[in-house]
Structure 1
């Protein structure tokens, strides 16, 4: 074997090792990114569940029904739309916009 063949072989080996380490680092970075994303999602979901649990622990207030009259007859037929539980929880956490 000539010295140029040995040098070429060593260069190719160093290049292959460098490429291998680069690919390993890319996989590790992607894995770490996925774990961070999963932790963030878990944290937000836990906050939503805690906020929802706190809201449901409050007993509902009983309101006497009013007898229908001409003024509130339309209101009894078409009730006001209520916020869903998810919307109210999100508004509670992030504030209404």
Structure 2
């Protein structure tokens, strides 16, 4: 699936991140309140690595790509946070309540 021009913040609920393999679909991560979805697709302009599925009633905040990227430019510490995660080869999913 093509990358969407949004970053999503999970404000309430729970999501599973699913990845399709040759013979099955597996849960590769579970997201909770405060976690982000779509960061990698926004920063790399590549398709999502998997699909997201709500496992309970959830609330997402949808942040347009241009606003998110502008925020990273205005607050270099935020950009550094994501750069460190990518440099370490770790999925950048969870953030603290206050950045």
TM-score by length of 1: 0.20
Specify which structure has the higher proportion of strand: 2
Larger Rg: 1
Specify which structure has the higher proportion of helix: 1
